[in-house]
Structure 1
Amino acid sequence: MNKKVLLASLLLTVGLTGIHTSNAQTNDFGNPKLIHYLNKEHTRYVSFSGYAELWARYTQLNPGSLINNESVGSVSDLSLRRIRAKMTYKPTENLYFVLQMGPTNVNVNSKNNTYMDLLDAYAEYSFSPKLAVGAGRSTWRGLSRFTTGPQATLLYDLPLYATSNTGITDMTVREMSAYIKGQLGRFDYRLVLADPYTATTADPALNVAKFSKNEARKDISGYFRYAFFDKENNETPFNAGTYLGKKKVLSVGGGFEYMHHALWHLDANKAIQNDDMKSVALDIFYDAPVNKEKGTSISAYAMAVHNDYGPNYIRFSGTNNPATGIVATSASLNGAGNALPTAGTGNTFYAQIGGTLPYFSRNNHNLQLQPAVSVQFADYNALKDNSAIYDAGISMLFHGNSSRLTFDAQNRPIYNSNAVSESLVTDHKWAFILKYRIDFN
């Protein structure tokens, strides 16, 4: 039997076992959680969880985009953005093991790449709430609140700046790493030492930094935050994008990421110069109820990050890109499909705000609307015009964050070079995404 199929079967067996052996906790659907306790004190357990995200979208494609061999200006498609199956095993009060699998970006372009990929496999030992150490393949990393990826996002997905190096130094936001973390009262910290992947094939260019072909140095990162009201759980690397007013949270954080000689470029004398990757970020997150009886709440997040990749580094990338190629003679700087400015040397600012509206019924607290908007602004050194990306959306919450339908409209800039090689915004394109997410736990 295929090893990946066998492993997925084992995970499913554990989950189904949990259904029949635990009624101590319930999920957003009011059902028993998929958890099997190993002792009477409920301090040791095996649990099963996961989620699936289905996208239906209409996308105005970047100039020159190809679908197979045809030049196409827009496309509508269905895709599975993420499918996750996770097993958590806690054999003792101090030891914790996580195994997670699942494919990402399953669309019409990925018929030969829909495997149940190994995502997370790491162990953690907790000496106390103040100190835990872990190692393996995981999303544990620093810099900012959302660098580790999505959990209960306010809009349809995380902004791409948050995981800006994905696919270059990591695999699906994962690296082999060791970390320490803990909570000292209201102060929460994590420090991570990772081995980045080396998947780049770029030669050094004149005065334009690119990720190097040389040996990858360690990826060092950290994130620190202070909770003014309710404390947040730091059991997993992920941070909530919204609590729907179930908590009152005001969290102020800061972080960094550093890789020595991660990039290179050619100077004026055509000599190779190595560039360090250096990033620092500050952010603030607020989520609180407005009227608990009506179910209204507010959620807001703001972030500022300074990235130094070396001279004129810029990256364009597209989430779940529907295009298969591009006609070089008619292409913009964005590249194929839905690619937009993701990261570069310079400053990026991001803000989002939203909140839940009153329950549809006083007797039924399941149905609820949550509108939200966001803006991402960046002044990249490689681009003459600043980048601005706008999102506006609304979610129908059927069962909290565990069953939600989100509609999002996104506007992105299109860049082209003028006669003196300045990168200017020459157009804007739209994307409309309808996402349904269901959690199982």
Structure 2
Amino acid sequence: MKKLLLLFGLTAVQFAYSQDTIKSEKKMEEVPTVEKNPLDIGELKINLNQKGDKWLKFGISSQIWLRSIDNNPGTAVNGVPQDQTYDAGIRRMRLIIQSQLTPFYSVFLQMGINNQNFISGGGTGTGNNGAGKKAPFFFHDAYNEFAIIPRNDFQTGKPNKNNLYLGAGLHSWNGVSRMTNASTTKMLAGDIPVFNFPTIEIADQFSRQFGVFVHGEFDRINYRFSVNKPFATNLKPAVGGVAVDNNQSGKLSYAGYAYYQFFNKEVTSTSFLAGNNLAAKKVLNIGAGFYTNKDATQSQPTENVFESHDTNIFGADVYSELPLGDKSKEMGLTLYSVFYNYNYGPNYLRVSGIMNPGTVDATFTGEKALEGAGNNRVLMGTGNIWFSQVGFVLPKFSKIVKVQPFFNYALKDMKALNQSGSYYDIGANLFLYGQNARIIAQYSSRPLYDTASKRIFDRKGEFLLSFQIVL
């Protein structure tokens, strides 16, 4: 116990006073393309040898949300009909431990909670275990990794032109797109759109699956591929109904993503790819990826006749950051665009609402939304989605603060619906000390579909104020 206390004491002193721990190495869950901002707070790292090739690093991040939600028609909150709901909650809170025990071998662990507000994310009872209380703390990532061809030669320390790593465990080295591998600490907008994770909380655990993976670089091509065992699903389809998640035959899933880097190259020592580096360096990456799982869903065209369907997802994207104007003004443009083609089987459709406070009001007699109650929206399904976002860093006016307006647009064309839907987010980031602290103000607009006609009959909005800290 004394040794443990001494270790944490030395860690605190080293973090507070040693300049050796505030170097330009990568933070947890970020993939920098730029030199370290001198205003960045730094990271918590313990070198285990004098050479510095054995180390232990810690990362902490939190995202606190305050919201005003326009509820879908027929919503009850805590059993009371409600058109608008105000709430506060924890969208994400994470602790990361990363260790390189030898130059050949490393371990990555990420733990935390997600989506806790006054009524969701925790218990379902009352009193001490009431709705929203005691949100579960669980492992997001837990994997080991071996360096087959390291980024830097172990003897000379010089960079290798190509590198290759092999790993296994519960991981997020995903396929499909850059955003399917998104860093949640370096997002452009207030949140990622969630449909970027094609099996989120169905055949995966918060976008992770158990399996083996390889990743690395071949000259300017950055790649990742994995073979995984999806989490089990066993929903029963209705007669004549749509395909539902049922992978009882237990087939493996296969995923991959690669992108070509035209200008500055990124360092990918963790799986997470940044969506925003404040356009400090010129970046242009074009990528494509896939996810496939045989017999992942099931339908029942006629009574007691069941058909299995493969899940096949394809994505293609482009990511760019462009510094603009006088370098001293630190202006820049960030652009991202991705096209997804989803095939889960006939008329598969999924709806979801982040930290949804609402349930169905049984007494409601008006026009109901296909999406259901609260802030539910059509998330994804068999069909296509095109998503784009843009952000612009305003000219420098402070040594500490940066402002970055942004805009998101998603066009969803689902086979189960009779009309395409447009989804918008508009807002601004206020950054403090690089990207260690961020305040986000964002307004989102979503369409609502009529249950019978499956066409848009209304729109609802949601205002978000988010506070984010990353160490």
Residues 22 and 36 in structure 1, CA contact (< 8 A), matched pair in contact too: no
Work out which of the residue numbers 319, 322, 332 in structure 1 matches 2:369: 332
Pair 1:58 & 2:68 matched: yes
Residues 229 and 248 in structure 1, CA contact (< 8 A), matched pair in contact too: yes
Pair 1:408 & 2:442 matched: yes
Work out which of the residue numbers 140, 144, 148 in structure 2 matches 1:119: 140
Pair 1:298 & 2:319 matched: no
Pair 1:289 & 2:323 matched: yes
Cα displacement string for residues 16-64 of structure 1 (whole angstroms, at most 9, x for unaligned residues): 4752685224276544521011222222210111200010010001112
Work out which of the residue numbers 4, 19, 24 in structure 1 matches 2:20: 24
Pair 1:98 & 2:129 matched: no
Matches within 5 A, 1:208-287: 208-212=242-246, 214-267=248-301, 271-287=305-321
The answer for the alignment partner of 2:385 in structure 1 is 348
Q: How many angstroms apart in 2 are the aligned matches of 1:203 and 1:395?
A: 44
Which secondary structure state, in structure 1, belongs to the residue aligned with residue 195 of structure 2? helix
The answer for the alignment partner of 1:358 in structure 2 is 395
TM-superposed CA distance for 1:270, in Å, is: 5.8
Work out which of the residue numbers 52, 68, 85 in structure 1 matches 2:95: 85
The answer for the alignment partner of 2:459 in structure 1 is 428
Cα displacement string for residues 240-277 of structure 1 (whole angstroms, at most 9, x for unaligned residues): 01111222110000000001000011225762111000
Q: How many angstroms apart in 1 are the aligned matches of 2:341 and 2:227?
A: 20
Residues 209 and 309 in structure 1, CA contact (< 8 A), matched pair in contact too: yes
Which secondary structure state, in structure 2, belongs to the residue aligned with residue 141 of structure 1? coil
Residues 344 and 380 in structure 1, CA contact (< 8 A), matched pair in contact too: yes
Amino acid at match of 1:335: G
TM-superposed CA distance for 1:368, in Å, is: 1.3
Residues 314 and 341 in structure 1, CA contact (< 8 A), matched pair in contact too: yes
Which secondary structure state, in structure 1, belongs to the residue aligned with residue 196 of structure 2? helix
Matches within 5 A, 1:6-17: 16=12
Q: How many angstroms apart in 2 are the aligned matches of 1:268 and 1:326?
A: 32
TM-superposed CA distance for 1:335, in Å, is: 1.5
Cα displacement string for residues 119-146 of structure 1 (whole angstroms, at most 9, x for unaligned residues): 2111100111421101111222111111
Amino acid at match of 2:77: I
Cα displacement string for residues 69-104 of structure 1 (whole angstroms, at most 9, x for unaligned residues): 111111011111000000101011121101111110
Residues 191 and 30 of structure 1, relative CA distance in 2, 3 Å threshold = closer
Residues 21 and 44 in structure 2, CA contact (< 8 A), matched pair in contact too: no
Residues 55 and 81 in structure 1, CA contact (< 8 A), matched pair in contact too: yes
Residues 425 and 256 of structure 1, relative CA distance in 2, 3 Å threshold = same
The answer for the alignment partner of 1:44 in structure 2 is 54
Pair 1:390 & 2:411 matched: no
Amino acid at match of 2:141: D
When the two chains are superposed, the root-mean-square deviation of aligned CA atoms in Å is: 2.2
Residues 177 and 194 in structure 1, CA contact (< 8 A), matched pair in contact too: yes
TM-superposed CA distance for 1:12, in Å, is: 7.4
TM-superposed CA distance for 1:417, in Å, is: 2.9
Q: How many angstroms apart in 2 are the aligned matches of 1:327 and 1:13?
A: 57
The answer for the alignment partner of 1:316 in structure 2 is 351
Q: How many angstroms apart in 1 are the aligned matches of 2:66 and 2:7?
A: 28
Which secondary structure state, in structure 1, belongs to the residue aligned with residue 393 of structure 2? coil
Q: How many angstroms apart in 2 are the aligned matches of 1:146 and 1:314?
A: 21
TM-superposed CA distance for 1:200, in Å, is: 4.6
Which secondary structure state, in structure 1, belongs to the residue aligned with residue 397 of structure 2? coil
Amino acid at match of 1:146: M
Amino acid at match of 1:85: L
Q: How many angstroms apart in 1 are the aligned matches of 2:91 and 2:194?
A: 14
Residues 397 and 32 of structure 1, relative CA distance in 2, 3 Å threshold = closer
Residues 185 and 470 in structure 2, CA contact (< 8 A), matched pair in contact too: no
Q: Percent identity?
A: 28
Q: How many angstroms apart in 2 are the aligned matches of 1:73 and 1:91?
A: 54
**Greater mean deviation of Cα atoms: 115-124 or 83-92:** 115-124
Residues 237 and 300 in structure 2, CA contact (< 8 A), matched pair in contact too: no
Residues 113 and 14 of structure 1, relative CA distance in 2, 3 Å threshold = farther
Residues 218 and 115 of structure 1, relative CA distance in 2, 3 Å threshold = same
Residues 181 and 191 in structure 1, CA contact (< 8 A), matched pair in contact too: yes
Amino acid at match of 1:293: S
Q: How many angstroms apart in 2 are the aligned matches of 1:303 and 1:273?
A: 31
The answer for the alignment partner of 1:4 in structure 2 is none
Pair 1:168 & 2:199 matched: no
Which secondary structure state, in structure 2, belongs to the residue aligned with residue 423 of structure 1? coil
Aligned length: 426
Residues 118 and 133 in structure 2, CA contact (< 8 A), matched pair in contact too: no
Tell me, which stretches of 5 or more residues in structure 1 are unaligned? 1-8
Q: How many angstroms apart in 1 are the aligned matches of 2:8 and 2:358?
A: 34
Residues 22 and 194 of structure 1, relative CA distance in 2, 3 Å threshold = farther
TM-superposed CA distance for 1:434, in Å, is: 0.5
Pair 1:307 & 2:352 matched: no
TM-superposed CA distance for 1:113, in Å, is: 3.9
Work out which of the residue numbers 110, 135, 140 in structure 1 matches 2:168: 135
Residues 168 and 200 in structure 1, CA contact (< 8 A), matched pair in contact too: no
Residues 18 and 47 in structure 1, CA contact (< 8 A), matched pair in contact too: no
**Greater mean deviation of Cα atoms: 114-123 or 264-273:** 264-273
